[in-house]
């Protein structure tokens, strides 16, 4: 890093007025203006990023190189011209050119102090609500009726819920769409079996074990011809709207969703019964869609079925792939439903954007459905349909996560185990804690650990489910983050100070304070990335970093033993740290506790 131009700009208290907490946005704006003044086009991208290393300052503008290329100018020369036009008075204390033409920006401690003062009194830690809220539909969780929720649904549920919380926090209108698998030919068999159970158990329904129920139903269907006959009859009747079959079907959906709701509540997931928008919701639309696709020349008859051939996808022979939308027997498919569903979300729910949290194995399915949706003009290109896919949950052996006996892990059992392990862990650390508090703590830690382990990994890859890692008090884990939060609170508790009562000004007096302050002020920027990409792990990494910076600050900058006004100024930094951690963990759906 060679710096040819270093400029020190003096900050002043006047900078306290006209405060803007999204520093990246503020700097982007300023650098853009300077680029334009230096000859760049008006649509130039300043590319202002948080610096990767302290020696590069707090932010780095990387947009000069691309503009220099366009202008046919040596990048460093353009960078110098940009600096001449860049007025960061009251914002930066130093701006320098580095490498081939990067601009390193060092924030002014006075500016930072003013920002912290503003953020610390705000309930949202200075994060503003979005200027133009959108209606965003989030498709997540989506378990299947009469089946146990499995680990695949766990990932979708946890990550999707974090996205929903984050988007709502920013002020968007979020519609949670639980695309429950509540339709299909299996319902004939399930109704027939429910009926049989009701007769045998005089109305008592043994649906507690959904997996077992499904297995038994299937067994009867395969082995008992009379039963199978009855089941097939019920499918037809159900599809025809027969009242008795509808009633039995509704019972199956109800029982399943009542059980799933218990899991959602335990998981501290915001889904409710009102969010169920199952596959059956789109039934009435399907014949119209097939007819319309035919009329538009997109769908054709092929061997008795109705098929859309897509050039965008090739089969093994290299020919356009045929996507069946209606079977020979008149039945519709999963794809047909997803076509209708996307249309409904745009037309009826007025979605501006739709996010789908579904595992990566369904990527091709979604792409095919959406290609048809776009071709048919059901959803305009201006409304993004985004597949926020995720990988599989693996066991420690690197194979799909299973019970020791090789079966699917029931979510309820998984959560029981999380609780038990967390209880052991926290009771060892807090032998004198009253039982009530201990239970609440074990719950926060156990459930938090399971959720955080998932949230903290980049969702696109598979991830290894490992109890020891997720319950460790070191590293990027829920227990560590929850503990870090209580540690900040303990500063106030120890001194018997009500944090609301501090009104002292903030003075940033050293490097540790300034690094912590700058990072604390990046909450909004972090949230922006999470909602743009649907990547809660970015929030986890940010919070982990904040916790680490606070730790270093706490260790090197005595708070309670410091003289005034330093003491109160440092308390303000601690207070903002607590706020940022709390808000960040809230957007992830991770519970915090006051002490542990």
313 vs 473, which CB is nearer to ligand ARG? 313
Nearer to ligand ARG, 338 or 591 (CB): 338
Type and span of the H or E element at 289: helix 286-295
Q: How far is the CB of 279 from ligand ARG (least distance, A)?
A: 8
Which residue, 155 or 451, is less far from ligand ARG as judged by CB? 155
Q: State which residue, 337 or 526, has the beta carbon closest to ligand ARG.
A: 337
Please tell me what DSSP assigns to residue 390: B
Closer residue to ligand ARG in complex, CB, 94/147: 147
* Shortest Å distance, C-beta 186 to ligand ARG: 13
Q: What is the 3-state secondary structure (H, E, C) of 257-283?
A: HHHHHHHHHHCCCCCCHHHECCHHHHH
Query: Least distance (Å) from ligand ARG to the CB of residue 462?
Result: 17
Nearer to ligand ARG, 269 or 543 (CB): 269
Beta carbon of residue 195, minimum distance to ligand ARG (angstroms, whole number):
25
Least spacing, CB of residue 26 vs ligand ARG, in Å = 39
What whole-number distance in Å separates Cα of residue 542 and Cα of residue 577? 12
CB of 438 to ligand ARG, least distance (A): 36
Question: How far is the C-alpha of 152 from the C-alpha of 139, rounded, in Å?
Answer: 14
- Contact at 8 Å (CB) between 444 and 524? no
Question: To the nearest whole angstrom, how small is the minimum distance from the Cβ of residue 356 to ligand ARG?
Answer: 6
Q: Cα(266)–Cα(249) distance, rounded to whole angstroms?
A: 26
Interface residue list for ligand ARG (CB under 6 A): 139, 142, 144, 179, 181, 338, 341, 356, 358
E strand map for 189-275: none
DSSP 7: E
Spatial separation of the C-alpha atoms in residues 454 and 451, rounded to whole Å: 5
Of the candidates 331, 60, 310, which has an alpha carbon nearest to the alpha carbon of residue 185? 331
Residue nearer to ligand ARG on the CB measure, 82 or 333: 333
**Count of all residues that appear for the chain in the document:** 596
Smallest distance, Å, CB 391 to ligand ARG?
15
Closest CA to 39 of 9, 69, 14: 69
The Cα-based distances of 573 to 125, 291, 316 in angstroms read 12, 63, 61
Phi and psi, residue 399, nearest 5°: -100, 160
Tally of CB atoms within 10 A around 208: 10
At 563, phi and psi to the nearest 5?
A: -70, 155
Decide if 153 contacts 115 (C-beta within 8 A): no
Nearer of residues 176 and 220 to ligand ARG, judged by Cβ: 176
Distance in Å, CB of 231 to ligand ARG, minimum = 21
Nearer to ligand ARG by Cβ, of 28 and 144: the residue is: 144
């Amino acid at each position: 890093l060679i710096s040819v131009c270093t400029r020190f700009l003096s900050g002043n208290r006047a900078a306290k007025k006209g405060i803007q907490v999204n520093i990246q946005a503020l700097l982007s704006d300023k650098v853009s203006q300077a680029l334009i003044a230096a000859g760049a086009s008006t649509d130039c991208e300043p590319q202002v990023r948080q610096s990767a290393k302290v020696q590069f300052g707090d932010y780095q503008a990387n947009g000069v190189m691309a503009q220099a290329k366009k202008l046919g100018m040596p990048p460093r020369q353009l960078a110098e011209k940009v600096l001449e036009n860049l007025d960061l008075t009251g914002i930066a204390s130093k701006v320098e050119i580095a490498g081939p033409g990067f601009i390193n920006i060092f924030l002014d401690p006075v500016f930072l102090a003013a920002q912290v003062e503003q953020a610390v009194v705000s309930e949202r830690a200075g994060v503003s609500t979005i200027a133009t809220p959108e209606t965003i539909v989030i498709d997540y969780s989506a378990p299947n009726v009469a089946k146990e929720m499995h680990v695949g649904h766990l990932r979708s549920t946890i990550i999707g819920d974090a996205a929903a919380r984050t988007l709502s926090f920013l002020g968007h209108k979020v519609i949670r769409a639980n695309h429950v698998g509540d339709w299909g030919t299996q319902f004939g068999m399930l109704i027939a079996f429910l009926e049989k159970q009701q007769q045998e158990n005089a109305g008592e329904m043994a649906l507690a074990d959904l997996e077992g129920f499904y297995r038994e139903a299937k067994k009867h269907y395969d082995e008992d011809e009379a039963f199978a006959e009855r089941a097939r009859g019920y499918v037809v009747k159900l599809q025809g709207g027969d009242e008795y079959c509808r009633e039995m079907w509704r019972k199956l959906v109800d029982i399943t969703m009542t059980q799933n709701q218990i899991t959602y509540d335990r998981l501290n997931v915001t889904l409710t019964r009102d969010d169920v928008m199952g596959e059956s919701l789109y039934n009435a639309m399907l014949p119209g869609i097939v007819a319309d696709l035919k009329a538009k020349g997109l769908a054709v008859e092929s061997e008795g079925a109705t098929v859309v051939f897509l050039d965008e996808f090739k089969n093994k022979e290299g020919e356009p792939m045929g996507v069946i939308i209606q079977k020979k027997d008149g039945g519709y498919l999963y794809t047909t439903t997803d076509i209708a569903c996307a249309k409904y979300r745009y037309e009826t729910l007025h979605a501006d954007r739709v996010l789908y949290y579904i595992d990566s194995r369904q990527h091709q399915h979604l792409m095919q459905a959406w290609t048809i949706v776009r071709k048919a003009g059901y959803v305009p290109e201006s409304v993004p349909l985004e597949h926020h896919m995720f990988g599989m949950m693996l066991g420690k052996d690197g194979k799909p996560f299973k019970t020791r006996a090789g079966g699917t892990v029931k979510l309820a059992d998984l959560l029981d185990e999380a609780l038990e392990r967390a209880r052991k862990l926290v009771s060892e650390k807090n032998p004198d804690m009253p039982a009530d508090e201990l239970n609440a703590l074990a719950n926060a830690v156990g459930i938090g650990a399971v959720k955080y382990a998932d949230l903290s990994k980049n969702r696109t890859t598979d991830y290894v489910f490992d109890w020891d890692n997720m319950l460790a008090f070191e590293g990027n884990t829920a227990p560590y983050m929850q503990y870090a939060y209580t540690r900040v609170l303990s500063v106030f508790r120890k001194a018997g100070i009500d944090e609301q009562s501090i009104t002292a000004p903030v003075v940033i007096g050293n490097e540790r304070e300034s690094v912590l302050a700058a990072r604390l002020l990046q909450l909004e920027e972090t949230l922006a990335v999470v909602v743009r990409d649907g990547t809660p792990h970015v929030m986890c990494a940010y919070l982990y970093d904040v916790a680490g910076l606070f730790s270093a600050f706490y260790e090197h900058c005595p708070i309670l033993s410091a003289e005034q006004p330093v003491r109160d100024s440092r308390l303000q930094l601690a207070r903002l740290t607590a706020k940022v951690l709390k808000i960040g963990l809230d957007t992830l759906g991770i519970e915090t506790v006051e002490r542990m």
